[in-house]
Structure 1
Amino acid sequence: MTLTTHVQLRQLGNSDLKLSPLGLGCWQFSKGSGIVGKFWPVLGDEVIQDIVRTSLAGGINWFDTAEVYGGGQSEQMLADALNAAGEAAESAHVATKWWPIMRSASSISRTIEQRLRCLKGWPIDLHQVHQPYSFSSAASEMREMAKLVKVGKIKHVGVSNFSAAKMREADRTLREFGLRLTSNQVKYSLLDRRIERNGIMETAKELGVAIIAYSPLEQGLLTGKFHVNPELAKQISGPRRWSSAFKPAGLKRSQPLIDLLQELALKYGASPSQVALNWLIHAHGETVFAIPGASKPHHAVENVRAMRFTLEADEIAELASVSSFYGR
């Protein structure tokens, strides 16, 4: 059993950024604005500041937001919270994303000043293309990103939801400017391991690109609370209520994994969700980072405690074996 009292930072892909294995996903800071922002309840400013402050105190040193999260509302709320944190946020890093759908690559440069205004003085350490679908090629988007690096508007370039082939195209184009692709942000968890089978993980390791895992707890499913009390699943609102994973048959299917998470949680004095997050950030060396969200301060406490221990190699392998059939 390995327990730690501090967070060991690691290099984010091909960049010079030294980040905590877990960052904080900030979609929930959208203030209910826009279609995407309505996915989460509206959080008060004090709650947001408490979540960010708690995350910083627990060793998280980076925050992931996006233009489409409330049309800049998440960026603004994050910036306000970091500014309110004062010295505690001195070493914090910000990642955001450009929304490409129904746009062309030139929009990246046209909208960068808006991103910077929303972030209220916080530099963009990692700027990502949010989706692979736009009116332009990945190469064209990377050329625009490279221009922004050159003039100091952003520091590093990442992508999100890119296939293995698109990752290669992006990295190949950035190399023409003396740059490298830093990261690919994709859906990844013990219940969704498709990137291990479709070439994304393999390509990331080959190119030295970091994987940033979103939905690392499968929207709460890996907490085990729905398995302990299936009635909670009937109270779910939003898109989750239609997911087969939360139906009785889906819960039964994932029960063996939850049982193992609970067993390991007992050993480490942790929770099932902390064990699930710990597996993510250790199963592939230092390739994978994860960005769980937090809509309440105690969620942030739960997140940071996932970095206080390290699963043994045989435990990592056992979890991989039990979850191997998910996401096929």
Structure 2
Amino acid sequence: MEARRLGRTDIEISPIGLGCMQFAGTANYTRLIINPIGQETATSVVRAALDGGVTWFDTAEMYGRGQSEQALAAALDECGIAPGQVTVATKWTPHLRTAASITRTIGERLARLRGHPVGLHQIHMPMGSLSSIPAQLKAMAQLVRSGRIRAVGVSNFSARQMVLAHRALARSAPPARRLFSRNVLSAQGLARTRPLIEAMRRIGDGHGATISQVALNWLITRYGDTVVAIPGASKPRQAAEAAGAMGFALTDAERGTLDELSLT
């Protein structure tokens, strides 16, 4: 698949990226959510993603207090990726902090990334900060104007919160108005979606693809080129499988079937 433009920026990324929470080590709560992996495995995962055509990686300050950022940077270096050759997205943690910490901590983000620039810097969640969201976005916009990051985004915001954030950011820095949200599909309701999953299995058999690849392909094509996905991977084969979702095209009839079943 062709690269896609990230919102209204001039940044181009692959439709599938790589989420890097699993690079967090054991420094904090993330070890309770996902099994951490060592540097050697992290590098192998990044290499598999790169080999599959992935050109952007999503990490965060919260993931191991910067350990994920550091591990990602080390992996990119080991794979021979020069700073700026791929896009790195990271996130600021708002918990019990003011907007001023956004500008105070950007130096640490850049240091952890070892020269790899921040293509997209995001507010990790819409709650927990001691400052208003408009104030947070104003601080982010200042980082764009100073050239320390390329674009601004938000993560885990509801649709309504995204609209309000977009308006606030547009007033602060029109050129930087890129909003990005990441949502997780819940494990609940699997019984209700069983017919959809079985359809994905049948469609996947026709393309030599797995259910996961069909799901990802459907996600990144259902809404044209406006949606991209960042599945995580703790093993190289998982990263290769996710990247493989970009390697085939669903037919209109197949997408129609999945659309219909997803609404039942």
TM-score range, shorter chain: over 0.9
1:162 to 157, 166, 170: 157
Q: Contact 1:32–1:39 at 8 Å: present in 2 too?
A: no
Partners of 2:22 and 2:233 within 8 A in 1: yes
Q: Does 1:298 align with 2:237?
A: yes
In 2, Cα distance between the equivalents of 1:34 and 1:74?
11
Match of 1:259 in 2: 198
Taking structure 1 as the reference length, the TM-score comes to: 0.76
- Return the alpha-carbon distance in structure 2 between the equivalents of residues 100 and 141 of structure 1: 9
Q: What do residues 168-196 of structure 1 show as CA deviations (whole Å, max 9, x unaligned)?
A: 33222322323243132231xxxxxxxxx
Structure 1 match to 2:209: 270
Aligned partner letter, 2:233 = A
Partner of 1:75: 69
Residue equivalent to 2:182: 186
**Deviation of 1:87 (Å):** 4.4
Aligned to 2:228: 289
Q: Determine if contact 1:146/1:179 at 8 Å carries over to the other structure.
A: no
- Residues in 2 aligned to 1:142 and 1:87: alpha-carbon distance in whole angstroms: 30
- Percent same amino acid among aligned pairs? 45
1:51-70 alignment runs, 5 A limit = 51-70=45-64
Residue 151 of structure 1 deviates from its aligned partner by 1.0
Q: Report if the CA contact (8 A) 2:144-2:176 is conserved.
A: no
Q: Give the partner amino acid of 2:238.
A: H
Task: Give the alignment of 1:106-125 within 5 angstroms.
Answer: 106-125=100-119
Question: Do residues 138 (structure 1) and 137 (structure 2) align?
Answer: no
Report how many residues are paired: 262
Q: Structure 2 CA distance, aligned partners of 1:119 and 1:252?
A: 42
Structure 1 runs, 4 residues or longer, greater than 6 Å off: none
Offset of residue 129 of structure 1: 0.4
Alignment correspondent of 1:35: 29
TM-score normalised by L of structure 2: 0.94
**Larger deviation, residues 30-39 vs 162-171:** 162-171
| Cα 1:69/1:276, change in 2 over 3 Å | same
2:40 corresponds to 1:101: no
Instruction: Give the equivalent residue in structure 2 for 1:234.
Output: none
Q: Is the 8 A contact 2:84 2:116 kept in 1?
A: no
Distance in 1 between residues matched to 2:54 and 2:245, nearest whole Å: 11
| AA at the equivalent of 2:120 | L
The answer as to whether partners of 1:170 and 1:181 remain within 8 angstroms in 2 is no
Letter in 2 for 1:276: A
1:165 partner amino acid: R
Where structure 1 has 5 or more consecutive residues not aligned to the other structure, the ranges are 1-6, 188-214, 219-242
The alpha-carbon deviation at position 12 of structure 1 amounts to 1.0
Cα-Cα RMSD:
1.7
The letter of the residue matching 2:177 is L
